[in-house]
Amino acid sequence: MSVIQKKEYRPLTEATAVVYLQKLGYFTNQVCESVEIGDGNLNLVFKVKPVGREQGLIIKQALPYAKVVGESWPLTLKRATIESNATKIYNELTPHLVPKIFEHDEEQAVTVMEDLSHLQILRKGLIEKKSFPFLAKHIGEFLAKSLFFTSDFGATPARKKELEYLFNNPELCDITEDLVYTDPFYNSETNSFEEELVDEINSLWEDEELQIEVAKLKLDFLSKKEALLHGDLHTGSIFASATETKIIDPEFAFVGPIGFDLGQIQANLLFQIFSRTEQKEEIFEQLITIEQVFNETFLHLWEEHSVRPFQHAALIKEKLDGYWIDAIGVIGCELIRRTIGLAHVEDIDKIDHSRKVELKKEILKLGANCIKNRFTIRNIKNLISGLE
């Protein structure tokens, strides 16, 4: 009996990325340019294009460790397959809102996908105060469709269990559990913050009510299996222009609490409320619109596609209210972890030091309030009313 030999995993380089594509039949007999463009913490990303052309293809390869730390923080290569599989599902549900996938190589943890370089990473565009008129509508639609059709409302029990199996993602979930729900709430060596924040941070660490409520949110993250989540939906995981929106990088995808995806994107938009001195109204409007579009679209899908046992209006209202209560708590955790945890946001950290410190104090206060009072705040509209 012959034995199939697996190819040894090899990280690509700018040169070998071209060879890799040409062996697959792309850009054969053409002189190509290859540039490593990845600015994330976990992957290599190459743009390969024939000389003289603007558009090409993107090759994304998972590394067996976190770039931000190095080889001392090993990571599974399986996340590349999880990302590819999630993106394929999103292409079925919202093809206009995600990149196309052309190839996936599980052994080499490589995915070949559509080139989105005509768009800009949303976080950078927001920092430059560009307008994105369709952004909120697109995000609300993506969230509603991706979450509804992978939840018990829109998926058969067999399909739901299949999703839980396919997107079993323990290593990356463990990263989220630590960085979002654990490390910022005690004196962890992964935390990073300015000395001027020590008093505020000690208050957080000594706040027993806060600690209990964070533990409840972490338990929800561990135990609620409501829908297939993107798992890392922030403004650095979205490409956008004035007319287009593309959600990328679902390598943290898993079946978990719907409020997590809702809260992560809203929290990352909220940083713009703090960093801006003008044009805040646009961000307030986006926050509200995402909530409205999500609710309206999710409810419409429930009316048209829900499986029979769950066709009760009181049930769907209760669940929608619960998703946003959960999201308010996630917003609080995300605000705090992006302020004093391992991975900060450029929106705030690029600001001059003295103003940045004062803003971070405000952000920590809001974060704690969201966590402790999420059942009173209940939704984005109420949250915003306290900020305007």
Same domain assignment for residues 214 and 331: yes
- What's the one-letter identity of residue 266? Q
pLDDT, greater one: 288 or 385: 288
Q: Are residues 95 and 165 in the same domain?
A: no
Alpha-carbon distance of 32 to 54, in angstroms, equals 11
In a domain, 95, yes or no: yes
Cβ distance 334 to 267 under 8 Å? yes
Q: Is the pLDDT at 202 greater than 50, yes or no?
A: yes
> What average pLDDT score do residues 255-274 get?
98
Determine the 3-state secondary structure of 50 from DSSP.
strand
Residues 52 and 135 in one domain: no
pLDDT-derived band at 71 (thresholds 50, 70, 90) equals low
Q: Is there a domain that residue 3 lies in?
A: no
Give me 8's structure tokens.
């040894």
Coil, strand, or helix at residue 323? helix
In a domain, 5, yes or no: no
**pLDDT for position 1:** 42
Q: Does 208 share its domain with 262?
A: yes
Grouping H, G, I as helix, E, B as strand and the rest as coil, residue 105 is strand
Same domain? 61 vs 184: no
Asked if residue 140 belongs to a domain, the reply is yes
Q: What is the DSSP string of 105-136?
A: ETTTTEEEEE--TTSEEHHHHHHTT---TTHH
Give whole-number Cα distances, 266 to 39, 270, 322, 333, in Å. Answer: 22, 6, 16, 12
Element (H, E) at 18: helix 14-23
How many domains are there within the chain? 2
79 CB contacts (<8 Å, ≥6 apart)? 42, 62, 109, 169, 171, 172, 251, 252
- The rounded distance, in Å, linking the Cα atoms of 239 and 178 is 27
* Whether residue 73 sits in one domain with residue 148: no
* Confidence at residue 40, expressed as pLDDT on a 0 to 100 scale: 64
CA distance 271 to 259: 18
- The CATH number assigned to the domain holding 340 equals 3.90.1200.10
261: left (phi over 0), alpha (psi -120 to 50) or beta: alpha
Identify whether residues 31 and 146 lie together within a single domain. no
Query: What's the first-to-final CA gap in the chain, in angstroms?
Result: 71
Select from 72, 90, 114 the last residue of a domain: 114
Please name which of 233, 235, 267 lies closest in space to residue 250, comparing C-alpha atoms. 233
Pair 211, 294 in one domain: yes
Residues 207 and 356 placed together within one structural domain of the fold: yes
pLDDT band of residue 66 (cuts 50, 70, 90) is confident
Q: Mind listing the pLDDT tens digit for each residue in 88-101?
A: 999 999 999 999 99
Q: Where a domain ends, among 55, 88, 114?
A: 114
> Structural domain of residue 110, as residue ranges?
14-114
Q: For residues 185-209, give the mean pLDDT.
A: 97
- Cβ pair 79, 171 in contact under 8 A: yes
Tell me, yes or no, if the pTM score tops 0.85: yes
**pLDDT per residue as tens digits for the range 17-65:** 999 999 999 999 999 999 999 876 689 999 999 999 999 999 999 999 8
Round to whole Å and give the CA distance between 383 and 42: 33
Residues 89 and 198 occupy one common structural domain = no
